[in-house]
Amino acid sequence: MKVGLIDVDPHNYPNLPLMKLSAWHKAQGDHVEWYDITTGHCDIVYMSKVFSFSPDYEYCIDADKIIKGGSGYAIKFVDGKEFYDKSADVDLPDEVEHIYPDYSLYPEMTKDTAYGFLTRGCPRGCDFCHVAVKEGQCSVKVADLSEFWRGQKNIVLCDPNILACPQWKELLQQLIDSKAYIDINQGLDIRLMTEEKAQMISRLKVKAVHFAWDRYEDKDIILPKFQMFKDISKWGYRKLSVYVLTNFNTTFEQDLERVYTLRDMGYDPYIMVYDKAHTTGRDNVRRLQRWVNNRIIFRTVNTFEDYTG
């Protein structure tokens, strides 16, 4: 069988479903290659798109069968609001989902780096996030590290909420034992932090960890947790990044308060702007973003008022 792959997103990130599909087809003895207009006829072509804003593949595809999947096809807009249409996405069959990915598809990006999920799903169901609809509203263990890691020096973990998984301890221990550098790219849920979790996370080899303070009203729950994690890890702000969601349901005063509070506690805030397309560069949230997310300016200009003159 001749199999074509199209990574629709023009980004520098390896597409995990395509790497798994490639591995599975190669294991069946099929010929797999990236599809473009010179490829010729294929028995099957897989198209994967992660981001809704990526333009679709615009050329004709010569194939008996075309399968499209990924959040980029499932996220729809109705009345200016995003929603995730699960019927427009495709779940990989178990034997594909759990195969060791074909990292050779992205030799540069996966150089000494493994990518994967140990858990899927998240119990939170935040209004601005599609994880609960896409993966389920609880965090479930789906793999051991050995499923996608074979000694690479770096591991990029894509789990939405590993700390909510009942097997968090066993999974963190696997990450510690790997002695690899761990990048938990979807962040850690600070609201679920305990002293035991903080002690284990402190033993991970990380360049940085990411938390989020999205809902202003979580203030009383999460500030003591931030303090506890800081005391246990003893990490400096360069290793402690916190995403701060703005332009969703907070006031600008609440945005500023979160930024100042996090900085005073020794964390590094990072501004995320919801629905950025409907803001302009002159809006306060966009100016806040430019100030806070430029570490050099943020650490030298003390207040937003000073920054905006």
Name the residues that contact ligand SF4, by CB under 6 A.
Answer: 122, 124-126, 129, 131-132, 160-161, 189
* Residue whose CB is less far from ligand SF4, 102 or 189: 189
Q: If residue 78 lies in a helix (H) or strand (E), which one and from where to where?
A: strand 75-78
HEC profile for 221-266? Answer: HHHHHHHHHHHHHCCCHHHEEEEEEECCCCCHHHHHHHHHHHHHCC
Measured N-to-C along each axis, helices 252-264 and 284-293 cross at an angle, to the nearest 10 degrees, of: 10
Q: How far is the CB of 261 from ligand SF4 (least distance, A)?
A: 20
Residue type, 27: A
* Residue whose CB is less far from ligand SF4, 14 or 187: 187
Q: How far is the CB of 94 from ligand SF4 (least distance, A)?
A: 23
For residue 72, give Cα distances in angstroms to 121, 163, 284. 18, 26, 29
Name the strands in the sheet holding 240-246, side by side, starting at the edge strand that comes first in the sequence.
Answer: 209-212, 240-246, 268-273
DSSP 8-state assignment for residue 192: G
Contact 187, 211 (CB under 8 A): yes
Q: How far is the CB of 130 from ligand SF4 (least distance, A)?
A: 8
* Residue whose CB is less far from ligand SF4, 125 or 236: 125
* Residue whose CB is less far from ligand SF4, 66 or 272: 272
Q: How far is the CB of 64 from ligand SF4 (least distance, A)?
A: 38
Q: How far is the CB of 243 from ligand SF4 (least distance, A)?
A: 9
Q: How far is the CB of 125 from ligand SF4 (least distance, A)?
A: 6
